[in-house]
Amino acid sequence: MPHTSLPSLLPRPASAATGEPGSLTLTQTTRVSADASAAGVLAWLQREVGAATGLPLAAGDEDSAQIRLSVDPRAGLGREGYRLIVDGEGAIIVGHDPAGLFYGAQTLRQLLPAAAYRRAPTGDTAWTLPPVSITDAPRFRWRGVMLDVARHFLPKHEVLRFIDLMALHKLNVLHLHLTDDQGWRVQIRRYPKLTESGSWRTRSQQGAGRPPTFDGRPHGGFYTQDDIREIVAYADARHVSVVPEIDVPGHSQAAIHAYPELGESGDIPVGTQWGIFDEVLAVTDHVLDFYKNVFDEVIELFPSTYVHVGGDECPKTQWRDSPSAQQRIRDEGLADENELQSWFIRQLDAHLAKRGRRLLGWDEILEGWLWEDGDARTGAERRAEGSSEDGGAVGGGGRREGLRPDATVMSWRGEEGGIAAARAGHDVVMSPTHTSYLDYKQSESEDEPVPVGTLLRVEDVYLAEPVPAGLTAEEAERVLGAQVNVWTEHMDTPRRLDYMVFPRLSAFAEQVWSTGPRDYAEFEPRLRAHLDRLAALGVEYRPLDGPRPWHTRPGLVGWGS
């Protein structure tokens, strides 16, 4: 029998070759063995592949099973690594850890026809695994997606579906953007008004035109604490860590609407427009205590090491006119409102550290504490020594009074914040807008729905390099990985989310998983085959040749170049 060519695997494994002649066909009598550490992967395989094939894939003993699953940290595979061998005798998957074994099982599923991704059998498909030998492990430990459920609420079952799609692509961090001006999406027992009144708005802006137009429909929703526990447990079973984000001190209109004493401007509505607004949190002891209590409930729900505090796009206008903010600046010996923001974030940083968690924030969390020349002093210290006041604060993490060294920076305003943070000794997750924002337009066609931002094609995502040029080897080790962001201002249904996310998320998966050079001409045929899997799952992805008529949104204006 001639050797069988390798299927179109995505992301590309580190090492893959055709094996010895002899394939393995799954039948009603196929048995699967699993050691104690592999029980979760066995259950997943029986549930997902069993549903599509109609085969029981019943558990058997190691001697009689055709598929054998095991975890062996001594196998030399590395964190999240696996080895998969298929021949005429059977299939063996060995994982360095349960996550690695799970990823090996995901690759096994890709060896089958695309119908293996359906929910039920559709005909007389031959479920044949070709002979292969694959050894694989990820390049980065952080392979993340930020999902904005604040701008448009995504029902729980759709979040669970999204987790499955992440797991299919071997992605392992779901960053949930739970609060913003336009809605508060997580139940907090101590402060019920956050969801009673802060979780819905009276209307939503349509498109990005000026003056804005609105749909005239209320929008809202939130996750109960039991919903969150279910989401976290579901993700954990698929080796996805869920990182919560509670955005402070800007992007807080929904919280201020629920509890007006949190803000600087009294009673305000939940936001109905998209953009950046002057309304920010006050910096009083009451506000700090309020959010410490919020974060205490959040960390009860999310076991993730990391807790995201936002920290982005915080205008300083209200603080400049606020007696309490100006008094705080004087009391703490701060130079200006930039350092006031950093001081506010540091209070939460210390609070989370006491509870064994690590603070994560957008690169603005470091404003006022690091300068372009790498000097990690406060602006006040520099000015006291006669340094220029316009030295160019870009983010920081000062070693004297800045954030704790284990605070982690998510670099979105280009690469500069990540570079500065890595040089100051902070871990970094790269997420620059021009390669990571999946709300950005996918072509220059007028048919693209609500085109915003700059052009971000599949190939642009695929070819992006997460580690910025110019870092030393030691600094580059600070780059934990990368993340794409799904901002949902213009994604008001799951269908529209699918269109914007896929297949660019598939390209991102290879960017953060696979090692070695990348060639889009080699990648595209594998992607086209992968689209058959997405279609079998019911993912309404954007076709590579452009939008279909029902994808367009005539009359809605976007923004950007």
* Residues assigned a catalytic role: 180, 251, 313
**Which of 271, 179, 194, 184 lies closest to 221 in space, CA to CA?**
184
Burial 317-333 (b: 16+ CB within 10 A, else e): ebbeebeebeebbeeee
Looking only at the bridges linking them, the beta strands covering 179-180 and 183-184 are antiparallel
Would residue 116 be called left, alpha or beta, if left means φ above 0 and alpha means ψ between -120 and 50 degrees?
alpha
**Which of 142, 215, 227 lies closest to 178 in space, CA to CA?**
227
Cα Rg of the chain, angstroms: 25
Report the C-alpha gap between 27 and 36 in whole angstroms: 24
Tokens read off for 112: 């089958």
Contacts of 24 (CB under 8 A, 6+ apart): 66, 86, 87, 88, 89, 90, 91, 128, 129, 131
Orientation angle between helical segments 494-501 and 504-513, nearest 10 degrees: 50
Report the C-alpha gap between 140 and 372 in whole angstroms: 27
> Do residues 411 and 421 make contact, with C-beta atoms less than 8 angstroms apart?
yes
Tokens read off for 362: 């957008």
Q: Looking at 366-454, which runs of residues are DSSP E strands?
A: 408-411, 427-430
Long-range contacts of 17-22 (CB under 8 A, 24+ apart): 17/132, 17/133, 17/134, 18/130, 18/131, 18/132, 18/133, 19/85, 19/86, 19/87, 19/130, 19/131, 19/132, 19/133, 20/87, 20/88, 20/131, 21/88, 21/131, 22/87, 22/88, 22/89, 22/131
Element (H, E) at 436: helix 433-436
> What residue type is assigned to position 395 of the chain?
G
Q: How many CB atoms sit inside 10 A of residue 548's CB? A: 12
> Do residues 446 and 555 make contact, with C-beta atoms less than 8 angstroms apart?
no
Element (H, E) at 175: strand 173-177
Report the C-alpha gap between 173 and 561 in whole angstroms: 31
Report the C-alpha gap between 100 and 92 in whole angstroms: 13
